[in-house]
Amino acid sequence: MYIQDVIQQQNIKLVIFDLDGTLVDSVPEIAASVDDALDELNLPKAGEDRVRLWVGNGLKKLWERALTFAGVYSENYLAKTYDGLLRHYEKHVNQTTCLYDGVTELLTALKEQNIKLAICTNKMEKFVPRILASQGIDQFFDVIGGGDTLHDKKPSAVPLLHICNALHIEKDHALMVGDSPADAGAANAADVPVILLEQGYNQGVNLDSLLTIAVKPDIRSLLS
């Protein structure tokens, strides 16, 4: 399979996955949270198509984009209303999230080869374990890093290097799999090879314009 060839050629011992847009499709519930929070403020709803282009840099940045869309953004207003978004997200989280086809098969194949697996997401860490558990994939991961686990988040190199250090694996033996410019930026900054998936949330950026070892259609294509 494709990812097996990469692992052998580059002596990969650790695969670090993004979460939203890479392992799970979560935009419908994120969009519902954003729209409920906007509606509560008597602001126009954004809709799923717009929110899909805003995902990838954490909830606070997402809310900044939503308020900018509504024409009311300021740092003070963001700070004043952000808890409202969190409250609505707590209500919606993990209600409609689903695994992409091939995820369990891929994770199983990698674990059978004794490859270490980790999550590096810009989602707040507290939300991640319940999502992984509900999707039946929590047992695969050795380390979970969220957007608030450290001071820095993707596209900083810090989260990826932290995961490598936690697992005592040199970055030369790590591989990132993601779907967004933030994933590519973090991997490039950490000097870790990255594969990007077109199935996810690319913020309207042409993934082929980013520095990667490959852009693949979806998770299943890593198995072929």
Written as one letter, the residue type at 113 is Q
Q: Is 18 a catalytic residue?
A: yes
How far is residue 26 from each of residues 19, 117, 193, 220, measured CA to CA in Å? Answer: 9, 21, 25, 18
Q: Coil, strand or helix: which one is 20?
A: strand
Written as one letter, the residue type at 59 is L
Written as one letter, the residue type at 24 is V
| DSSP assignment letter at 100 | P
Q: Coil, strand or helix: which one is 91?
A: helix
Pairing label, strands 174-178, 194-197: parallel
**Residue in 5, 18, 142, 208 annotated catalytic:** 18
The per-residue b/e assignment along 87-104, b for 16 or more CB within 10 angstroms, e otherwise, is ebbeebbeeebebbebbb
Residues identified as active-site: 18
